[in-house]
């Protein structure tokens, strides 16, 4: 079919329509082309692309796994959290979709401007509180506002969950979410105009026999500065790179808290197996003659790391660290021995 119809073709189409006959192939093709027009709603514009929505979903699947582990350990029961949907809507639609009262946490999304909302369904909120107070949490379904004590307890849980959110966003931005205030009436949580577009991440949550939803609502104006980073290509490349300042800082902070066993080897002696089996309490094993000028071996987890010299600090024995020892792994030693024997 040509782009421009001739006068004869136009007359044939008009005649076919007026007579009620089946339209020609050209007219059917013209109708098909007209159906390709995309409808755009100016009252509810789409601010997020499908690729950005998929990326956010993958990020929060990580958040869901981390939250599952954290809540299971804290509540000492089986917890299941997974992403149910990620969609865009107006802020007014989100507010109307949640119950009243509920647990609405206003989250400061530093360094991003603005705030987000983390909403926990009342059935999940009271199940968590009941478990932390020593109950079973099976029938903790109430429809009331939280008391001061319950509010304090749930604040601690939310702060714990926000740490998982920071880790899930670490491949995109060094997010430092902080809990602001907690509201129970959705009408008091107006962080953006009603017609502002938001991204809503819905997390289906199951704690024991109780089921409910947790919702994370992020306004478009909050994540607009990093909207270009919300692509699958950028997200996967960040994961492969794995050398961001955030990752290095987090790994270093965790490694610094790891406890290791250290020891000092004063000397060694060779014994036969029979001599070892005949050892009794009170027996003395004579070591090679050592002086304070001799160097000992400082070990970390049974690995020789430094040479050291003995001494004292006050009434305590001590060693002074010297030059490092080049420690060859056992597997390399085994390989070299095999080559020598060959």
What is the reported pLDDT for 49? 83
The tens digit of pLDDT for each residue in 294-307 reads 888 898 888 888 98
Q: How confident is the model over 324-334, as a mean pLDDT?
A: 61
pLDDT at position 173, please? 85
Q: Find the DSSP H helices in the chain.
A: 7-19, 25-34, 50-75, 91-97, 122-132, 148-168, 220-223, 232-241, 245-255, 273-277, 330-341
Q: List the structure tokens of 101.
A: 């009262």
- The model's pTM is 0.57
User: Residue 108: pLDDT above 60?
Assistant: yes
Confirm if 80 and 68 have CB atoms less than 8 A apart: yes
148-184: pLDDT as tens digits: 899 999 999 999 999 999 988 888 888 899 999 898 8
Cis peptide before 13 (omega within 30 of 0): no
Compute the mean pLDDT over every residue in the chain, rounded to the nearest whole number: 81
Tens digits of residue pLDDT in 29-58: 555 555 555 555 555 566 788 888 888 888
pLDDT, average across residues 81-89? 92
Domain spans in the chain, listed from the N-terminal domain onward: 1-37, 50-255, 260-267+287-327
pLDDT at 114 over 90: no
Q: Flag whether pLDDT at 332 surpasses 50.
A: no
- pLDDT classification of 342: cutoffs 50, 70, 90: very low
Which range of 19-28, 166-175, 227-236 scores highest in mean pLDDT? It is: 166-175
Q: Which of 102, 313, 113, 117 is nearest to 198 (CA)?
A: 117
Residue 1 binned pLDDT confidence (cut-offs 50, 70, 90): very low
CA dihedral 134, 166, 60, 149 (to 10 degrees): 30
**In this structure, what DSSP letter does residue 173 have?**
-
Contact 119, 201 (CB under 8 A): no
What is the per-residue pLDDT for 190?
A: 85
What is the DSSP code string of 212-264?
EEEEEEEEHHHHGGGGGG-SHHHHHHHHHH---HHHHHHHHHHHTT----EEE
Contact 120, 214 (CB under 8 A): yes
Q: What is the pLDDT of residues 250-293, one digit of tens each?
A: 788 888 888 888 888 887 888 898 888 988 888 888 877 777 67
Q: Give the per-residue pLDDT at 225.
A: 87
Q: What whole-number percentage of the chain has pLDDT above 90? A: 20
pLDDT class of 23 with cuts at 50, 70, 90: low
Domain 50-255 has CATH 3.30.420.40: no
Pair 96, 194: CB distance under 8 Å: no
pLDDT at 81 exceeding the cut of 90: yes
């Amino acid at each position: 079919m040509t782009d421009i119809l001739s006068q004869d073709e136009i007359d044939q189409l008009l005649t076919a329509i007026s007579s009620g006959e089946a339209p020609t192939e050209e007219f059917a093709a013209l109708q098909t082309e007209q159906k390709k027009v995309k409808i755009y709603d100016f009252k509810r514009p789409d601010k997020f692309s499908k690729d950005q929505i998929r990326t956010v979903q993958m990020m929060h699947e990580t958040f869901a796994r981390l939250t599952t582990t954290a809540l299971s350990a804290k509540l000492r029961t089986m917890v299941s959290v997974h992403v149910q949907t990620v969609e865009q809507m107006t802020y007014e639609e989100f507010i109307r979709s949640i119950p009243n009262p509920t647990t609405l946490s206003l989250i400061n999304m530093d360094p991003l401007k603005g705030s987000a909302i983390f909403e926990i369904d009342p059935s999940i909120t009271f199940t968590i509180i009941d478990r932390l107070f020593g109950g079973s949490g099976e029938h903790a379904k109430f429809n009331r506002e939280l008391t001061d004590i319950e509010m304090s307890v749930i604040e601690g849980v939310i702060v714990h969950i926000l740490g998982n959110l920071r880790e899930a966003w670490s491949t995109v931005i060094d997010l430092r979410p902080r809990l602001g205030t907690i509201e129970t009436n959705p009408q008091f949580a107006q962080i953006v105009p009603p017609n502002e577009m938001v991204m809503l991440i819905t997390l289906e949550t199951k704690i024991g026999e109780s089921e409910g939803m947790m919702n994370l609502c992020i306004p478009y104006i909050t994540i607009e500065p990093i909207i270009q980073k919300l692509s699958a290509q950028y997200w996967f490349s960040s994961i492969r790179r794995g050398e961001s300042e955030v990752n290095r800082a987090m790994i270093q902070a965790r490694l610094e808290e790891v406890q290791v066993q250290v020891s000092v080897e004063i000397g060694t002696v060779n014994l036969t197996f029979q001599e070892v089996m005949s050892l009794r309490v009170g027996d003395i094993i004579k070591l090679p003659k050592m002086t304070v000028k001799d160097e000992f071996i400082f070990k970390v987890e049974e690995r020789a790391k430094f040479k050291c010299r003995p001494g004292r600090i006050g009434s305590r024995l001590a060693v002074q660290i010297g030059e490092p020892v080049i420690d060859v792994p056992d597997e390399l030693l085994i390989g070299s021995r095999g080559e020598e024997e060959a």
